[in-house]
Amino acid sequence: MNLTTLVAGGGGFLGSHLCTALVEDGHEVICIDNFGSGRRENLAHLEDHPRFMLIEADIREPLGLPAADRVYHLASRASPTDFTEFPVQIALTNTEGTRNLLDYAVKHDARMVYASTSEVYGDPEVHPQPESYTGNVNIRGPRGCYDESKRFGETLTVAYEKRYDIDVRTARIFNTYGPRMRADDGRVVPTFVTQALDGEDLTIYGDGTQTRSFCYVSDMVAGLRALMDQPGLDGEVVNIGRENEITIRTLADRILEHCDTDSDLIFEPLPEDDPERRRPDISKAQKLLNWEPNVSLNEGLRQTISYFGHN
Ligand code: NAD
Ligand code: UDP
């Protein structure tokens, strides 16, 4: 079946991989992006494709878009360094922007996947985090513009489902990495990889004992697509990520091993509210989506380092 799919935030890291996979599978794809944190070059290979349409626009503004059967809502800056510079833009993208996309989904009777985040769990007191955990977010802290607006975005999807009987599924995405992240994005993998490739010291925040669980981008795209495609998942919320949890210090050591470099490690202050531990409980995704990640950290880092080495 040839479906038309709208990808909001399709010019970004995850969105551009998703657009590529959808076009390759025969979908008509409409991408909307304001290129705030995304880049046109992420989509250069698609721009002349007959099944691909790019619309440069902001989802906070009223959307005059062609109809689609499906909507992936990935539009939002996601790097903690942007939380300082763009807090209002981020908060409104995840609230007003989400409302505009929900109105669009109602109008066109489109199924939607909303990209939420592990940040809705804040600095978690429950470990690993299942979907039932209601989280520990500092609503007034430096990450609040992102964490809390993603939480409200989820609330809005539930309200629209109840009021308008539309089919919205929510993915709580855990740390994902891979090619097409921006070198200056601020997130840990592109930062460490570019530092290592440039022979600079790797900047560990805090003592590096905080943990994350890193998922490679192709696994994430497969998970998001499974959430969209499975019948009967109306209104479900599902963690998507990889369970293998490592410390940031170990991640740095791993990246140094992969790169032929003289770089050392330097330690800088831990940002306020930086979560101490994070690991998804993905049993729900395994059961409902018949999905689990299969790219190892070593393989994913090899691909990512090769990308940054050539760009
Ligand atoms: P990204 O910054 O590369 O992509 C986001 C895209 O959205 C960019 O192209 C940006 O220009 C666009 N955008 C932002 N605000 C917009 C607006 N108001 N109107 C139109 N376009 C707008 O980030 P990413 O890592 O690809 O993240 C994609 C989605 O996944 C985001 O919603 C993010 O919150 C979520 N997410 C990502 C991760 C991760 O580890 N990558 C983790 C959790 C959640
Ligand atoms: N981090 C770090 N050095 C950097 C960038 C990030 O030690 O140069 C740490 C950061 O403090 C956090 C972890 O790496 O503990 C993951 O950070 P990222 O911004 O990638 O994602 P998030 O904090 O949103 O999970």
Q: Give the distance, in angstroms, between the CA of residue 245 and the centroid of all CA atoms in the same chain.
A: 18
- The helix/strand/coil state of 242 is coil
Ligand 2 site, CB within 6 A: 80, 175, 187-188, 191, 203-205, 210, 212, 248, 271, 274
With a cut of 70, say whether residue 1 has pLDDT above it: no
Assign residue 29 the CATH number of its domain: 3.40.50.720
* 202 contacts 265 by C-beta, under 8 angstroms: yes
The string of pLDDT tens digits covering residues 90-148 is 999 999 999 999 999 999 999 999 999 999 999 999 999 999 999 999 999 999 999 99
* 292 contacts 222 by C-beta, under 8 angstroms: no
CB atoms within 10 A of CB 13: 27
pLDDT of 311 reads 78
Is the bond preceding 128 in cis, omega lying within 30 degrees of 0?
yes
Q: ∠ CA(169), CA(175), CA(179), 5° rounding?
A: 105
The string of pLDDT tens digits covering residues 228-284 is 999 999 999 999 999 999 999 999 999 999 998 989 999 999 999 999 999 999 999
* 254 contacts 192 by C-beta, under 8 angstroms: no
pLDDT of 170 reads 98
Place of tokens 């939420």: 116
61 belongs to a structural domain: yes
107 belongs to a structural domain: yes
309 belongs to a structural domain: no
| Domains: count for the chain | 1
190 belongs to a structural domain: no
In percent, the amount of the chain with pLDDT more than 70 equals 100
- For residue 235, the enclosing domain spans 4-181+214-243+277-295
**Nearest protein Cα to ligand 2, atom 25:** 175
- The helix/strand/coil state of 98 is helix
122 belongs to a structural domain: yes
Written as six digits, the tokens of 73 are 């809502």
Tell me the pLDDT band of 2, cut-offs 50, 70 and 90. confident
What is the rounded average pLDDT of the residues 188-198?
97
258 belongs to a structural domain: no
- Sign of the Cα torsion 247, 208, 174, 310 reads negative
What is the rounded average pLDDT of the residues 20-37?
98
Across all residues in the chain, what is the average pLDDT?
97
Which ligand has its closest atom nearest to the C-alpha of 153? 1
With a cut of 80, say whether residue 19 has pLDDT above it: yes
Query: How many angstroms separate the alpha carbon of residue 187 from the centre of ligand 2?
Result: 6
Residues identified as active-site: 146
**Nearest protein Cα to ligand 2, atom 16:** 188
* 173 contacts 236 by C-beta, under 8 angstroms: no
| Model confidence pTM above 0.95 | yes
88 belongs to a structural domain: yes
